[in-house]
A and B are shown apart, each in its own frame.
Chain A
Amino acid sequence: EAQVTQNPRYLITVTGKKLTVTCSQNMNHEYMSWYRQDPGLGLRQIYYSMNVEVTDKGDVPEGYKVSRKEKRNFPLILESPSPNQTSLYFCASSFRGHGGDTQYFGPGTRLTVL
């Protein structure tokens, strides 16, 4: 089954404790992306990757890191989480990252930073 998977689905942590949210897709997509969803703000892009070893900032990259060492994986790293990073996070992928491409979303990771 074609899908985007994220782990963990739920995470409660404390300020300053480094964490990684994993994302993996099995569709051989070149483009991958991370979004955060906050009430009243919709989804905002954090980082994206056009291909292996090619990453770039989205609209809200502060406090986040990413890497793309393999085509299928695109982990999101919070080196020192803060309470304002409490949010619902979605990973997405698409075939080539072209404007008309459909993006496929993971199920989401709900992060709470105390």
Chain B
Amino acid sequence: AQSVTQLDSQVPVFEEAPVELRCNYSSSVSVYLFWYVQYPNQGLQLLLKYLSGSTLVKGINGFEAEFNKSQTSFHLRKPSVHISDTAEYFCAARAGRRALTFGSGTRLQVQP
């Protein structure tokens, strides 16, 4: 079965500090991987996606993620966060024809 695990439910960080949000997936076949961001009382917006090719994927708002097949991870990073990055972040995976599976989310709290 396909599953996505986000190891941290909350990540507090100070403004301008770097941040990494962790995501691990399990799948016996090739996967497509996504990170979404959700601001309060809104739907989800796509940050970035990994389909194939380069394992380092750059997204919007200065975020990037690295696909690591051996560790089955797709961690999200930003070198310097802003207050406006405070939101919930969801990792998601799709293997083949299966529906998209979401992790439980990580709440990023950027403090001044």
A binds B: no
- Taking beta carbons and an 8 Å cutoff, which residues of B are in contact with A? none
